[in-house]
A and B are shown apart, each in its own frame.
Chain A
Amino acid sequence: MSERDAADVELRARFAALAAEDARAAPRFAVPRVGRVRRVVSRPLAAAATAVLMAGAGYTWWATRPRAAAPYPIDLASVTWTAPTDFLLDTPGLALLRDVPSFTAGTGAAGRIAPALTDDTVRRTPS
């Protein structure tokens, strides 16, 4: 047997003596009865469950909260209103003021006013 093995044997003997002492001093075996012990939910689980419940309650309140009545929808585009004093604005020549004159006759392709198409050879100063 090597020196190393002998040292192991000595250690084993020491541990065996310790084990024998512990065995003598061991308390009597008793398994706690589950029925007598209140089962406690772990704290993180309880906190998570509470958070979920509170979130659910908050969402339920938000979804079912009493809301103010919606205002009556008015389509502004379809509304017409005539003031009682509108006739005062009907001045003479109002059509001229409201309408933009058009220069359709005599305009060129670019929209510029083109000179009258006249044969001006007669009026041209002879050179």
Chain B
Amino acid sequence: MSPSELETELTQHHRAAFGWALACCRWDRTMAEDVLQTAYLKIVDGRARYAGRSAFRTWLFGVIRRTAGEERRRRAVRRVLPLAGLDDRHAPRAPGPDPADVLARAESSMRLVEALRLLPSRQREVLHLVFYHELSIAEAAAVMRVSLGTARTHYERGKARLRTLLGEAPHV
């Protein structure tokens, strides 16, 4: 795929990719933007190559998911290292939603985000891919690099738990 074709594809999927990056970063907007830029850079400079084995969006989401995992591990290491406190950019922030995010979102969306945050990562990912991005469970399994059966199990359990959480979650 030529660089211009890549750029066209990325432009086309940019908004969905940002939504997926947010989900992978547990709605930490700053981290999601960093992850998205790093993922784009990987794709543009050839460290991540699209081989055409799946849909472009499925592959792109896989790259974003891996990049988010790497970023989480990097931040965890920095948090453990004694010099991590000197670097303000990676200082651990208070858990919970970004205040700017809270202002920008509607109440029902905030409740959904809060409920999704409480889910295990696999369940959150599969629900996000299926309901938010309208992928099939098989495509979600490909993004998550798990078997179809595993994805289906996470989907069913996650959906049941999300319903419970949405029914019981307090209003923000």
Q: Which of B36, B45, B109 contacts A39 (CB 8 A)?
A: B45
Q: Which of B37, B106, B108 contacts A32 (CB 8 A)?
A: B37
Q: A15-B112, A37-B45 are in contact. Are A21 and B106 (CB under 8 A)?
A: yes
Contact residues in A for B33 (Cβ distance below 8 Å)? 27
Flag the segment in B14-22, B73-81, B87-95, B145-153 that touches A.
B14-22
B63 close to A (CB within 8 Å): no
Q: Which of A8, A14, A19, A32 contacts B40 (CB 8 A)?
A: A32
B157 close to A (CB within 8 Å): no
Contact residues in B for A39 (Cβ distance below 8 Å)? 45
Q: Which of B7, B128, B132 contacts A31 (CB 8 A)?
A: B7
Q: Is the CB of A29 within 8 A of B14?
A: yes
Within 8 A of B (CB), among A18-39: 18-19, 21-23, 25-27, 29-34, 37, 39
Interface of A is mostly: helix
Interface of B is mostly: helix
Q: Is the CB of B162 within 8 A of A11?
A: yes
B14's closest neighbor in chain A, by CB? A29
Chain A: interface residue total (CB-CB under 8 A): 24
B142 close to A (CB within 8 Å): no
Q: Is the CB of A11 within 8 A of B131?
A: yes
B118 close to A (CB within 8 Å): no
Chain B 106-135 near chain A by CB (<8 Å), digits 1 or 0: 101100110000000000000110011100
Q: Please give the distance in Å from A41's CB to the nearest CB on chain B.
A: 11
B159 close to A (CB within 8 Å): yes
Within 8 A of A (CB), among B1-16: 7, 10-11, 14-15
B163 close to A (CB within 8 Å): yes
Q: Please give the distance in Å from B8's CB to the nearest CB on chain A.
A: 11
Q: Is the CB of B15 within 8 A of A23?
A: yes
Within 8 A of B (CB), among A63-104: none
Q: Is the CB of A17 within 8 A of B106?
A: yes
When chains A and B are docked, how far (Å) is the Cα of A7 from the Cα of B131?
Answer: 12
A/B interface sample: 18 pairs, CB < 8 A: A14-B108, A14-B109, A14-B112, A15-B132, A16-B132, A17-B108, A18-B105, A18-B113, A18-B132, A19-B133, A21-B105, A23-B15, A29-B11, A31-B7, A31-B10, A31-B40, A32-B40, A33-B44
Q: Which residues of A contact B (CB under 8 A)?
A: 7-8, 11-12, 14-19, 21-23, 25-27, 29-34, 37, 39
